[in-house]
Amino acid sequence: MQGRISTSTAKSARIAGVAALALATLIGSAMAGPAFAQSGEPRTVTVTVRVSDVESAEGQVYVGLCDRGFSEDRCLDGRFQPASPGTMRFTFENVPVGMYAVAAYHDINMDERMDSNFIGLPREPYGFSNDVGRRAPPNFSMARVPVTPQEATIDVRLARMGGN
């Protein structure tokens, strides 16, 4: 996962992008009709992402819920929470039913970016849905999982590069 830019400009752009996406989704939902498909199933769900193997309470954990790729501009939503050892839960509300992948990392030094070494390998614990990206760069298609009204929980396990 490529490092995140931690400038106020990048933060403003991220917030503006999420706001624009939320507005477009709201307008699109209003134009599309009721929030339930004809079968009676909801078109949006609450997604829970469970991030396991958080090493410590140091820093924060980031989770990105991605629908078109792993770069930040291709993710539907992303957020930080203070780190808590063990398993953490992130909740994303009003997520359209569909296919998603999750990227997560433990931002130990709280610089709001995934630290990497001189050849680009992660220095902080990271993980992806379907546990992809352990031995090779993450493949978005292989990390995608269905989000449906019946299944809206995605598990991600954090690990260090070369670790288990």
Q: Which two tokens mark 96?
A: 């359209």
Asked whether the predicted pLDDT for residue 164 surpasses 90, the reply is: no
Tens digit of pLDDT for each residue in 110-159? 999 999 999 988 999 999 999 999 888 899 999 999 999 998 999 999 99
Rg (CA), the chain: 16
- Look at residue 134 in the predicted model and tell me its pLDDT: 85
Amino acid at 104: A
Looking at the DSSP bridge assignments, the partners of residue 42 are 36
d(CA 131, CA 133): 7
CA atoms within 13 A on the CB side of 72: 19
d(CA 152, CA 60): 24
Tens digit of pLDDT for each residue in 37-74? 456 667 999 999 999 999 999 999 999 999 999 988 89
Contacts by 29-38, CB closer than 8 A, 24 or more apart: none
Tens digit of pLDDT for each residue in 90-108? 999 999 999 999 999 999 9
- Look at residue 60 in the predicted model and tell me its pLDDT: 98
Q: Which two tokens mark 60?
A: 């924060």
**pTM for this entry:** 0.73
Can you tell me which residue has the tokens 């990392």? 105
Domain boundaries, the chain: 8-157
d(CA 144, CA 5): 25
| Burial classification of residue 136, based on how many CB atoms lie within 10 Å of its CB (0-12 exposed, 13-18 middle, 19 or more buried) | exposed
